[in-house]
Structure 1
């Protein structure tokens, strides 16, 4: 028996995807570290960089040992540290925090699709690292007054059970027909999360739109900014209908710079990853929201985001920026041959 079994298709797939994500993050961290004004923020990002780098090398080693080609991912060609700051006022840590949130979700999914012990431990370690730095970023932003908390609520003093099916329809049985019941705290949590992540995404993509090289890419990012605005507006109005305050983060704005620190390829991939994260978040929000009108809104958001992501994929393919994941053997082609 070999000491280690060969890796499976799912293990190859998630390692390949992780390599793409981590090399992108490393390139972006190189720029943000170079431009950091705040020493504490710089240390957080430097520590993240040093913690992630060995795992990129471990993935390379697994590919080499299995006889698999090492993916291109993102290299020094995709970042230019010697350009003006594209973002200001703490955006770097806001962005890293959102990246860590995405990574936590990916690592949790990935660890459920691998079997070999060394790969399981790799994702286990990455999960622990990601959780630790997500907390570091959160505490930093709270300390600096840059992170809005979700709305506070009066604590419940009794246990209640749903008595009317109108609860699912989003109707209030104690008021006039058509009046919506108030949001529950689970629904508030997912709506607030949607606002928060879209605000950071809007700031990011606004900077991308300012500095993209190709006009089609610039237009794509501009369209994405409008999509984020529309989602933020819809979700905020849902809060306002119940008289719930809309917390908003301070800082994190794009500067006036139009000089790109990242390649169009990297910025397109980053936006694609954010779209996937957003669609996943909408799916979870739909599953745990008991008001039908919220589910309907999330379905529309998901459709719009999917169509936007599909448009981005076409741009990446046309420009030769979409690296193809490892494919299964083309059995039909072999048989015909």
Structure 2
């Protein structure tokens, strides 16, 4: 007897989120494709477009098959392909690398909560596609000498067990050297803020709404502040600072993207930042570092909350699928 189960909540959530993120990313990469002048980037940009388009189309097929409402997401109305260049080709490649890494991680994490084979197939293909895109973009950035590397440390002489809890350090006073795990998270979060800062700086320059421009300016300041916090930790520990590649933003004030897309993307970057800080807290045994992350998470949460309110005020925030409001149904009968 053939078993045809309905989509469960976790599968709807995964599909809905994938549609929203990939329809947005497709618009952004379309702009990159339109203004790209580096022939070395062409294949990778086309691969990014194909991956995003594959996810959007496959989610659409399942939702239509299940008579489930399709998200509004982002369309050609959210990207202006006639707009001039806003970011450099190098930044476009850094973004695609970052997007591919986030897509790979998200797809792999979602597999754990998926039961239906057709849904698992989508995210398995997505994970493989974005992993290949990530490797290709890494190879190109390395070839161009533009890959942002983590700091280096001397090789460990021998493995040993800890003798006391001084390894944990306190919030103040002398701290033991950073571990490689702590360094890895600091480096990753520094680069995340660098990419986010560049993006929102471009958004603040081109947004139509004064409120959105002001919100983006605030985001630029927060990202710059967080980068400074991470760099100061490295400086105090005597760790060589990782290389940075602040990509050029042009003087264009003609936005390639709708304010709705820019707000959604900024909110997505905030969510990724919060997730990255959360993972770093779990990997950071020095209490002063954990304290820094907790403080920074609180600031990003406040910023993201204000962003959602701004999106709701402008009717840009698309409501995710939710359970039936039984109380509202009962009131309709009264």
- TM-score when scaled to structure 2? 0.96
* Deviation at residue 332 of structure 1 after TM alignment: 2.2
1:184 to 168, 179, 182: 179
Task: Please identify, of 80-89 and 260-269, the stretch whose mean Cα deviation from structure 2 is larger.
Answer: 80-89
Cα separation, 1, equivalents of 2:27 and 2:98: 16
1:276 aligns with 2:266: no
Any idea what the Cα deviations from partners look like across 1:118-163, whole Å, max 9, x if unmatched? 1011101100111111111111111112222111111112112111
Alignment of 1:244-283 (within 5 A): 244-283=239-278
Question: For the Cα contact (< 8 Å) 1:97–1:134, is it kept in 2?
Answer: yes
Alignment of 1:1-40 (within 5 A): 1-40=1-40
Question: For the Cα contact (< 8 Å) 1:104–1:127, is it kept in 2?
Answer: yes
SS in 1 for 2:34: helix
1:285 to 275, 280, 288: 280
Cα separation, 2, equivalents of 1:283 and 1:179: 24
Task: Please identify, of 138-147 and 72-81, the stretch whose mean Cα deviation from structure 2 is larger.
Answer: 138-147
Question: For residue 328 of structure 1, what is the aligned residue in structure 2?
Answer: 323
1:204 aligns with 2:199: yes
SS in 2 for 1:69: coil
Root-mean-square deviation (CA, aligned residues, Å) is 1.4
* Deviation at residue 100 of structure 1 after TM alignment: 1.5
Cα separation, 2, equivalents of 1:310 and 1:51: 30
Question: For residue 309 of structure 1, what is the aligned residue in structure 2?
Answer: 304
Question: Which runs of no fewer than 5 residues in structure 1 stay unpaired?
Answer: 172-176
Question: For residue 87 of structure 1, what is the aligned residue in structure 2?
Answer: 87
SS in 1 for 2:215: helix
* Deviation at residue 3 of structure 1 after TM alignment: 4.8
Task: Please identify, of 108-117 and 16-25, the stretch whose mean Cα deviation from structure 2 is larger.
Answer: 108-117
SS in 2 for 1:112: helix
Distance 1:33 1:89, change over 3 A: closer
Any idea what the Cα deviations from partners look like across 1:233-290, whole Å, max 9, x if unmatched? 0000000001111123235221111110000000111111110000000010000111
Find runs of 4+ consecutive structure 1 residues off by over 4 angstroms.
Answer: none
Question: Which runs of no fewer than 5 residues in structure 2 stay unpaired?
Answer: none
Question: For the Cα contact (< 8 Å) 1:89–1:251, is it kept in 2?
Answer: no
Cα separation, 1, equivalents of 2:246 and 2:72: 34
Question: For residue 157 of structure 2, what is the aligned residue in structure 1?
Answer: 157
Question: For the Cα contact (< 8 Å) 1:28–1:79, is it kept in 2?
Answer: yes
Question: For the Cα contact (< 8 Å) 2:48–2:96, is it kept in 1?
Answer: no
Alignment of 1:103-122 (within 5 A): 103-122=103-122
- TM-score when scaled to structure 1? 0.95
Cα separation, 2, equivalents of 1:265 and 1:28: 13
Question: For the Cα contact (< 8 Å) 2:37–2:89, is it kept in 1?
Answer: no
1:242 aligns with 2:248: no
Cα separation, 2, equivalents of 1:2 and 1:69: 25
SS in 1 for 2:113: coil
Cα separation, 1, equivalents of 2:116 and 2:69: 20
* Deviation at residue 45 of structure 1 after TM alignment: 0.8
Cα separation, 2, equivalents of 1:294 and 1:164: 19
Any idea what the Cα deviations from partners look like across 1:152-199, whole Å, max 9, x if unmatched? 11111211211121211259xxxxx92111111111111111111111
Question: For the Cα contact (< 8 Å) 2:51–2:130, is it kept in 1?
Answer: no
The alignment covers a number of residue pairs equal to: 332
Task: Please identify, of 252-261 and 281-290, the stretch whose mean Cα deviation from structure 2 is larger.
Answer: 252-261
